[in-house]
Structure 1
Amino acid sequence: MTAIALATAADLPALVDDDSSFLAALRDRGVTATPVVWSDESVAWDDFDAVVIRSTWDYYRRPDEFAAWIDRVDAASPTVLNPPETLRWNRHKFYLRDLAARGVDTFPTEYVQRGADASLAAVFERRDWDEAVVKPAVSAGAFETKRIARGEAATEQPWFDDLLADRDVLVQEFADGITAGEWSLVFFDGDYSHAVLKRPEAGDFRVQEDHGGSVAAETPSESLRERASEVVDAVRAERGGTVPLYARVDGIGRAEPERFENTARSGPAFRLLEVELIEPELFFRVDADAGERLAEALLDRL
């Protein structure tokens, strides 16, 4: 019987409720699917045929430990999905620079190395931005993320310096379209599955439900699906042809084209915020068949 570990975090030992349909779909197919805490050092990972990264949601708070765990599970015998080399690449948000180089429309971004002597005021001046979002390169859930207006640059500089002392940092032009909603389009084995639109609470810019945001099932336009599919294609090209088992493409869709980091398109535009390949919420709850689709895609690889 196939045995699969579904890697999760210590505070989510049974996975999140949203993953229940995926778990059930595996068990219906005769698979022994077991939630396992990634940081539990007693686990023998080579007891499993595969390890699927699901809800390791604390990894960004323990980045060195998580990196060491990737190495450890990579050295064991099971198939790891998404693959370890993809996890290493995607855990650090400088991957956006790689996708931008492949023509993906991304938000204008300054990639600032840890320990750099960098000035927020200089970034605003050079880029001619009115607002920016500053975030660590290894983060999730709006961790250590701030929206900063141009006039606040001097006041926020000490915080920025403290952040840079410990981490690589991204400074991005603020996505003013975020108030209209952020799309999350989910792909399994390179094929589009379903989507949601996430909206922030009034007066906020963070779409995460932990910060008051909301999630609703929505049907994206064909153009938006095509743009998101191009992001997955760019990931595949960047990863040497490897198609991710799952990918969640997050971005802002607009009715009219705008200026982008790389290219200008006609028709509805899509600008990438992130492509989540490590531990994204996949919103199984909005599509009754999504768990079945991912289970089938997974078993086809084993």
Structure 2
Amino acid sequence: MKIAYIIYSGALKYGTANNFNENEDLLPFLQQKGLDIVAEVWDDPEVNWAKYDIALLKTPWDYHEKFEQFNLWLDKIQSLKLKLLNDYELVRWNMDKHYLSEVAAAGFDIIPSIFIAKGWNDDLKPFFEQLGADQLIIKPCISGGSKNTLILDKSLANENKAQVVELVSAGDFILQPLMPQIQEGEWSFIFLNGTYSHTIIKKPKAGDFRVQQIFGGTIEVAFPEQTYIDIAGKLAATFAPDALYTRVDGLMVKGKFMLMELELIEPFLYLSYHEQAVERYYRALLEQVERTK
């Protein structure tokens, strides 16, 4: 089985941890294991996709910036009958943060959220009241890497409106309270073929809310209580039952796990933060390959 390991043409911004760099070392590791797997840039017009059996999404990190093109690419490789990991339906569902409404409707705890539609032009103040917060986070429904993500302050709602109107002219946005628990860390539970692998906590640098390393955030290994693993596992099993990889991100709020996002398209999986995680990833991928034969 020939596997296309899907990347993008931009920079890969995560470094080495515990003598393993997920962006640089995972592909050679999989090749050394005997898999017929080759890196391909998803929007490279020279790629002959028909020669592949499987497309494994790893770092197509600019898909949200080329959203229409990415959807056309998905349509193309689906028409060629490539198996996509994760699968087409799941990826399309996960692209737009409106999926969080479905998660909430299923009875799971999520960070309180309000969606505003493209072209919105109204008063910001009611959102602070509805979400019970003096500061809100606003971000695109189709986004990644904290792009176009802002903090809105209730005392500056009138001043912020023009900026928000400009942002929303490009697409739908989601509003959420700026949760103080982000300073304690965002939890990421990683599952491979539905089986729990490991957990890390990402913390922002002092004075920031963004947990990504490129903004000065830090990462540490976490050992959560089984109760929280079970909740994250139920989310994975409910919404991504056949996924090769699932990352469940959220905060601990008064002893309760509250979902921020399900990462099912191209998440960094922090494979270097557990001594068995890289091997687990390979075994999970091998199972998916065997199912394809």
Q: Please give the alpha-carbon distance, in whole angstroms, between the structure 2 residues aligned to 1:64 and 1:39.
A: 12
Alignment of 1:137-156 (within 5 A): 137-156=141-160
Give the superposition deviation at 1:127.
3.3
Q: Report the equivalent of 1:274.
A: 261
Aligned AA (1:287): H
- Structure 1 stretches of 5 or more lacking a match? 237-241, 257-267
Matched letter for residue 166 of structure 1 = A
Question: Aligned-pair distance for 1:86?
Answer: 0.9
Please tell me whether residue 234 in structure 1 is matched to residue 242 in structure 2. no
Question: Is the 8 Å Cα contact of residues 57 and 85 (structure 2) preserved in structure 1?
Answer: yes
User: Which of 123, 127, 130 is equivalent to 1:123?
Assistant: 127
C-alpha deviation, 1:21, in angstroms: 4.9
For residues 106-255 of structure 1, the aligned pairs below 5 Å read 106-236=110-240, 242-254=241-253
Per the normalisation by structure 2, the TM-score is 0.92
Amino acid at match of 2:37: A
Structure 2 counterpart of 1:263: none
Which of 272, 284, 290 is the equivalent residue of 1:297? 284
Q: How far did 1:216 drift?
A: 1.1
1:130-182 CA-to-partner distances (Å, cap 9, x unmatched) read: 11100000111110001112112111101110111111100111111000100
Residue 288 (structure 1) shift: 2.7
1:88-146 deviation digits (Å, cap 9, x = unpaired): 11111111111111111101111111113342112113333211100000111110001
Task: Output the CA distance in 2 between the equivalents of 1:120 and 1:223.
Answer: 37
Q: Separation in 2 of the partners of 1:145 and 1:243?
A: 31
Residue 95 of structure 1: aligned partner: 99
Residue 283 of structure 1 is matched in structure 2 by: 270
Residue pair 2:189, 2:232 contacting (<8 A) in 1 also: yes
Paired residue secondary structure (1:55)? coil
Unaligned stretches of 5+ in structure 2? 16-20
2:65 paired residue number: 61
- Shift of the 225–157 alpha-carbon distance from structure 1 to 2, 3 Å rule, reads same
Identify the range of structure 1 (118-127 vs 221-230) with the bigger mean alpha-carbon deviation.
118-127
RMSD after superposition: 1.7
Q: What's the CA shift for 1:277?
A: 0.3
Query: Hey, what's the Cα distance between the residues in 2 that align with 1:12 and 1:42?
Result: 20
| Contact persistence 1:19–1:284 (CA under 8 A) | no
Q: Distance in 2 between matches of 1:250 and 1:149?
A: 25
SS in structure 1 at match of 2:169: helix
**Cα offset for 1:22?**
3.5
Q: Displacement of 1:23 after TM fit? A: 2.3
Report matched runs for 1:8-47 at 5 Å: 8-12=7-11, 17-47=21-51
Over 3 Å counting, the alpha-carbon distance change for 1:80 and 1:12 in structure 2 is farther
Which residue is equivalent to 2:18? none
2:5: which partner in 1? 6
Look up the SS of the partner of 1:300 in the other structure: helix
**Aligned residue number for residue 50 of structure 1:** 54
8 A Cα contact 2:113 2:131, kept in partner: no
Distance across 2 between alignment mates of 1:252 and 1:48: 39
d(CA) in 1 for partners of 2:156, 2:80:
49
Kindly provide the CA deviation profile for residues 51-108 of structure 1, in whole angstroms up to 9, marking residues without a partner as x.
1000011111111111111111111122110011111111111111111111111011
Write the distance in 1 (CA, Å) between the matches of 2:94 and 2:133: 27
Partners of 1:155 and 1:230 in 2: how far apart? 42
On the 8 A contact 1:21/1:291 being kept in 2, the answer is no
Count matched residues. 283
Separation of aligned partners in 2, 1:131 and 1:290: 37
Identical positions, percent:
31
